[in-house]
Amino acid sequence: MADTGETETVSGSRAAAHRGAGDDWHGRIRRFSKSDFVRGLPYWFVPFLIMGFGVYGGIGWNTLISLTDYEGFGQPPDLGDLDLEMYAQALQDPAVFVTTKNTFVLMIAFTTITMILGLFLAIMLDRDIRFREKIQTIYLLPMALSFVVTAQFWLWMYNVNNGLVNTVVGVFGLGPYNWIGNPDLVLSAVIFALIWQFSGYAMVVFLAGLQSMPDDQFEAAKVDGANTLEMYWDVIIPQLKSSSVSAAVILMIFALKAFTFLYSMFGQYRVPQATDILATLMVREAFQLQNWAYAAAIASILLVMSLAIIAPYLYYQYKQGSL
């Protein structure tokens, strides 16, 4: 009995308070308009609107175009007749099959090797060495260059007759190889060049992870009598998990959209089949062949693939509390 009485009183007073605020709706609006939410709105909402229009409006419009038969110059897409024909066509297209396969080969080989090399370089530079900053600057330099620029460098490096790569392998009595012309070699050559460009990036991410690590971990491992190799393997590398995930995601996403390097290296939309990936196929279908709807469908496939990487990543970051 006493319990019910108390509840009634509480809910009664709450209702009264509610009624009081409700009467004064002028005041409420005034307080709302002065609230942090409304005052803060212009700061984030304007950029959000611009970005949202481009990103989400763009994705929505792209999806819509992929359902039409839009092709050719100068005419807006016909939205009267929507179907999944382009996706059906893509599933049967041998070019889509080949480029998907190449995309995965590029993504996995490039990401794995770049991560391992980047981790190795980070551990190396994390030890007390001379001129560390200068060395880091050189290792990271390729990352500051455009793919159009680095593609020119590597085209020259891989030149059959005069390239430095053939000069170097020649020292070991090998070659000369036609790195660019030989379909069996060209994908590896491209992956190698991209590893050159990105391992400095992976190194910087791992270095940041290493430097934010508390020292007592090292000390504890030392007291346990672990040797250097064991210490890295058992103590330090497991702690770099979050850096590794970040680096891997950035590298995989890059591999999915790598277009510029390939286009610049071969100087045209049509790159050798062995290096043709979904990203180059999409741009070619759209801007060389004007198959807009088909290109939009391929772009959707690419988008789904990247969402399959990004969504778990963001969820992971959220769980880690680092978002």
Partner 1 sequence: MSKPTTSRGESIARMLPALDYSKIGISILVMVFFVFFISPIWTGLVTAFKTTGAVTGTTPFVPPGTEGFTLEKWTTAIDYLSTGLINSFIMTIPSTILCVALGSTAAYGLTLVDWHRRARFAVLVLFMFGIFIPYQAVLVPLSDFWINIFAVDGTMAFLGDLPFFTERHSRLFAVTVTHVVYGIPICMLLFRGYYVALSDELVEAAKIDGASITSIYRDIVLPLSKPMIGVVFIYQFTMIWNEFLFSLTLIGSSNSPAATVTLVLSGLGSDLSGVDFGLRMAGAFVAALPTIIIYVLFAEQFAEGLASDN
Which of the ranges 5-13, 55-63, 85-93, 171-179 carries the binding residues for partner 1, by CB under 8 A?
55-63
* Binders in 218-277 for partner 1, by CB under 8 A: 228, 246-247, 249-250, 253, 256-257, 259-260, 263-264, 267-268
Which of the ranges 4-12, 89-97, 142-150, 171-179 carries the binding residues for partner 1, by CB under 8 A?
142-150
Binder among 5, 22, 76, 321 for partner 1 (CB under 8 A): 76
CA–CA separation, 183 and 14 (whole Å): 77
Helices 241-257 and 278-287, packing angle to 10 deg: 30
Q: Reduce the DSSP state of residue 24 to 3 states and report it.
A: coil
Q: Give the x-and-dash track for 100-139 against partner 1 (CB under 8 A).
A: ---------------------x--xx-x-x---x-xxxxx
Q: Would you count residue 61 as binding partner 1 (CB under 8 A)? A: yes
Q: Would you count residue 142 as binding partner 1 (CB under 8 A)? A: yes
Least distance to partner 1, CB of residue 67, Å = 12
* Binders in 151-170 for partner 1, by CB under 8 A: 152-157, 159, 161-164, 167
CA–CA separation, 168 and 61 (whole Å): 50
Q: Would you count residue 208 as binding partner 1 (CB under 8 A)? A: yes
Binder among 33, 35, 227, 320 for partner 1 (CB under 8 A): 35
* Neighbouring residues of 209: CB distance < 8 A, sequence distance ≥ 6: 122, 239, 240, 242, 243
CA–CA separation, 156 and 162 (whole Å): 8
Query: Do residues 267 and 254 lie in contact, with contact meaning Cβ atoms separated by under 8 Å?
Result: no
Helices 94-126 and 241-257, packing angle to 10 deg: 140
Of 236 and 283, which has the nearer Cβ to partner 1? 283
Amino acid at 155: L
Q: What is the rounded radius of gyration, in angstroms, for the C-alpha atoms of the chain?
A: 28
